[in-house]
Structure 1
Amino acid sequence: MCCQNYKWKSKPLLIGMYHEIVTLRCCFLTLKTKVDSSLATMDKTHLLSDQDGASGPGRSYGTCTDPNMEANDGATAPPADMMPVVPGYENLGPNVIPPSHFGSSQPQAPPRAPERRFDIPAISEELAQEAFTEYVSSKCCYSSKPVKEMVFTDLQSLNTYRYRLETFTESRTTEWDSEPYNGQVVDGFGVAPEPWSIPVPVPSLFKNCKKSVRVPHTSTVKGCHSCLNLGRSACRKCVNSGRTRCGHCCGTGWISSSERRRCGLCSGSGMVRCHSCGGVGSITCKTCKGHGKLLCFIKLIVTWKNNIHVSVIDKGSGFPLKLLNQITGEKLLTDMAPMVYPVVSFPDHSVNAASESAVREHQAQFCTTCRILQQRQTIELIPITQVYYAWKEKTHTFYVYGTEHKVYTKDYPATCCCCSIL
């Protein structure tokens, strides 16, 4: 009697569970029908449009762009959430790793400035006249009379200095990388060294360079995330169907000519075998090269950069400074050290101020993010002399500048009519 009562009490529960199962199955079938319909529509749309570049009879088959041939850089690392956490490399990415975190000490500047002497050269009247004569002779419309008859009245030295500071730095970043796994040795045992403890040879000083190094003991084998370990990926040309629209008949199956006839290339079906995948519907995975597995490892990226600061100290001479970009000056100072001291004893205090500002700025900017390997500061004297001369009871002027002794003048007193018009 008890068993009979139990059966009658459990019957409504079983009926309710049955109805829930039927409802879930109906929902699943409805969803599956919608997905299949969407895929069929996508396949049909792609198959009818993948050869739009070859529309019209007589066009050569396969002239359209093959989407499978798009640029691919080869193996890439799987998403970060699929990779293991390596001690010391918890925060991978483009952010630079501060060297202080790994005990890489920065070089120290000397306690005081070294003793230096500076000799500022001056231009003579003979050199000024020689440069002016050469300049006038290069101008077809300039008369040589002012050069031969002029009388120097004054030579003003407009000393212009160019201060240049170069800071050669090394920065390091880390990221996951991979290559197709084909049975290589997997270096995944042991403690991975810290990023700044890995020795990397320094290239030529003051030249930009970048190098990638594999971090030891960080290798692991993972299934290819692009093809789900299959070694092959869907053909994008035919959308995994193995067939594409015939380019000879534009998918109609008929050739329009004097008399309508069936297309011989596709036998009237309007579809041909996909030439990109050979009709298989899939191609070799470009990420794993068909192996289905990737050898993943942490890559250390070392960047050497020459950071340059240039200051031109001009005294408001009115000389166009843009002409100095192609001019070499006379080097008065070249100082190179792991960490230079600002120039403090230069006769022109503007140069001292520019040096102190640049050195402090570079040290504050790079000490926390990079390792400073070498610094070099130079002071160039760009000689600019403003020459005043008299000719026919009038005063005129010209400039002699640079170590090349080039000449610049706003107006020359004896030019022909064509130059005056210009």
Structure 2
Amino acid sequence: MNTGQALYAPPVAGVPSPTAPPVFDNVPGYEGTVIGGGGFLPPPAPLYPSPPPETEPSQPDWSIPSITEDTAREAFRKYVDSKCCYSSGPVDDGVITSMEAFNTYRYRLETFTEFRSTEWANKPYDGQPVNAYTQQPPGPWDIQVQPPTMFKDNTEDVQVPYTSSVKGCHTCFATGKCQCSECTGSGHKACWVCSGSGVRAGDESCTRCNGTGRESCSECHGQGTIECETCKGKKQLLVYINLKVEWKNNVEDFAVQQTGGFDSANLGSVTGKKLFEDTKYMVYPVLGFPDPNVSQASERLVREHQSKFSQTSRIHQQRQTIELIPITKVSYKWKGGSHLYFVYGNEFKVSADDYPATCCCILM
């Protein structure tokens, strides 16, 4: 018997055994990679050599952006207007006593990676060409897949060439039909009008079911079977190795904690003044930044990313940026009390945890 021929020619009609789609572990180049539905595929050698150390470009402007009292007050007003339970008294009558700006640097490292895995897949057989063993399939990393825009997550499934074969559907025993779950295969259900008794109030015969207590199942139209969801009634499946390609932008931030008491967790929702950007296949840590915390974070994260992701994925590109997030601490007095709020980010967002004029709203 020619087993190779049987893998790429449609089988003789018959009823197969009720097993899952066949898992062949002898496809050339894929031995051991698809057993259990998901094989780990180590990436090939890097596409490009690692870059040499570099000196940073000329020093940019590290000055702290300042805001005016009018800007601070207008941001405060918009914040209060967005709160249904906040009175505008502190905005209208509060007196600003001081404004203090803080250097808050955010370092961000992005590593754009490609991860590949394989698994056996199937779909209804509709006459597609089958070609398992006609020639050796290309290796998982030899298959050309167009990457998406850099630093954008995406996923793509690719049918590996020369791995497809035809098998009888394992779900319906190659019949194209499965038992209807609505009526458990009987083709009938209890009449919903008489609840299966055959009579209505007053011992009258039920006109809906003619006194039988049963009616035809609407799901299967009285047949007791429905079209198989797996093969869509085709009886056969095209079985093949599926290559799953996942592109992911792995992002990590580090914020220098010079915020004057402001909760730095809020910084994730705002942008800042971009001081530095570097995009390469593999970036080198930032050198000579005025705040040594930023340089130390850059060195640590670059080392961790290149070590962690190069073991499981192909690194396509890295990008590192440094932003100066403007944070202004505004102190003001209202009704004899001292209070404060923060204005932060290019968006002039406001944080005011101790707002002194709140009330309780009752929603009806």
Is 2:112 the partner of 1:165? no
Residue 119 of structure 1: how far off its partner (Å): 2.5
Distance in 1 (CA, whole Å) between partners of 2:25 and 2:147 is 31
Q: Does residue 248 of the first structure (1) align with residue 193 of the second (2)? A: yes
Aligned pair partner of 2:53 in 108, 112, 126: 112
How far residue 173 of structure 1 moved from its aligned partner, in angstroms, is 1.1
Maintained 8 Å contact 2:75/2:348: no
Residue 145 of structure 1 deviates from its aligned partner by 9.2
Give the corresponding residue for 2:129: 185
Structure-2 change in CA distance of 1:143 and 1:199 (3 Å): closer
Amino acid at match of 2:61: D
Q: State the shift of 1:213 in Å.
A: 0.7
Q: Is the 8 A contact 1:106 1:367 kept in 2?
A: no
Q: Which residue of 2 aligns with 1:288?
A: 231
Q: TM-score, normalised by structure 1?
A: 0.67
Of 326, 339, 342, the match for 2:282: 339
CA distance in 1, matches of 2:331, 2:221: 84
Q: Deviations over 1:148-190 (max 9, x none)?
A: xx7x8xx865311000111111101111111211222223221
Distance 1:238 1:347, change over 3 A: same
Residue 199 (1) aligns with residue 141 (2): no
Structure 2 residues not aligned, in runs of 5+: 1-18, 79-87, 333-337
When residues 399 and 272 of structure 1 are mapped into structure 2, their CA distance, relative to the original with a 3 A threshold, is closer
Structure 1: 5+ residue stretches without partners: 1-77, 390-394, 413-417
Contact 1:96 1:171 in 2 (8 A): no
Task: Call closer, same or farther: CA 1:299–1:410 in 2, change over 3 Å.
Answer: closer
TM-superposed CA distance for 1:269, in Å, is 3.1
- What RMSD in Å do the two structures reach over aligned CA positions? 3.5
- Tell me the distance in 2 between the aligned counterparts of 1:399 and 1:271: 71
What is aligned with 1:85?
26
Q: 1:301 to 1:135 in 2, by over 3 A?
A: closer
What corresponds to 1:54 in structure 2? none
Change (3 A) 1:402 1:224: closer
Q: Does structure 2 retain, via aligned residues, the 8 Å contact 1:136–1:143?
A: no
Is residue 2:177 matched to residue 1:235?
A: no
- Cα distance per residue 1:349-408 (max 9 Å; x no partner): 10000111111111111101111111110000123456899xxxxx99886654456777
The match for 1:364 among 294, 307, 311 is 307
| The one of 37, 42, 46 aligned to 1:98 | 42
| 1:287 CA drift (Å) | 1.4
1:22-101 equivalences in 2 (<5 Å): 79=20, 81=22, 83=24, 85-89=26-30, 90-92=32-34, 93-100=37-44
- Amino acid corresponding to residue 237 of structure 1 in structure 2: E
Secondary structure of the 1:262 match is coil
Change (3 A) 1:277 1:376: same
TM-score, structure 2 as length reference: 0.76
- CA–CA distance in 2 between the matches of 1:82 and 1:335? 46
- Contact preservation (8 Å) 1:175, 1:298: yes
Q: How many corresponding residue pairs?
A: 326
Structure 1's 400 and 270: CA in aligned 2 closer, same or farther, altered over 3 A? Answer: closer
Residue by residue over 1:317-376, the C-alpha shift from the partner in whole angstroms, topping out at 9 and shown as x without a partner, is 323324434332111101001111111211111000011111111111110111111111
- What is the distance in 2 between the residues matched to 1:304 and 1:251? 56
Cα distance in structure 1, aligned partners of 2:123 and 2:107: 47
Tell me what 1:317 maps to: 260
CA contact (8 A) 1:250 1:270 kept: yes
Which is further off, 276-285 or 347-356? 276-285
The answer to whether the 8 Å contact 1:107/1:372 transfers is no
Match runs of 1:136-147 below 5 Å: 140-142=89-91
* Equivalent-residue separation in structure 1 for 2:192 and 2:282 (angstroms): 69
Partners of 1:409 and 1:241 in 2: CA distance: 67
Structure whose alpha-carbon radius of gyration is higher: 1
Indicate how the Cα distance of structure 1 residues 334 and 185 shifts in structure 2: closer, same or farther if over 3 A, else same: same
Matched residues in 2 for 1:146 and 1:402: separation? 23
Give distance in 2, aligned partners of 1:280 and 1:420: 66
Corresponding residue of 1:349: 292
Q: Does 2:300 align with 1:375?
A: no
Q: CA deviation at 1:235?
A: 2.1
Q: Distance in 1 between matches of 2:260 and 2:193?
A: 76
SS of the counterpart of 1:164?
Answer: strand
Deviation at 1:129, TM superposition (A): 4.6
Aligned partners of 2:169 and 2:244: how far apart in 1?
23
Letter in 2 for 1:94: G
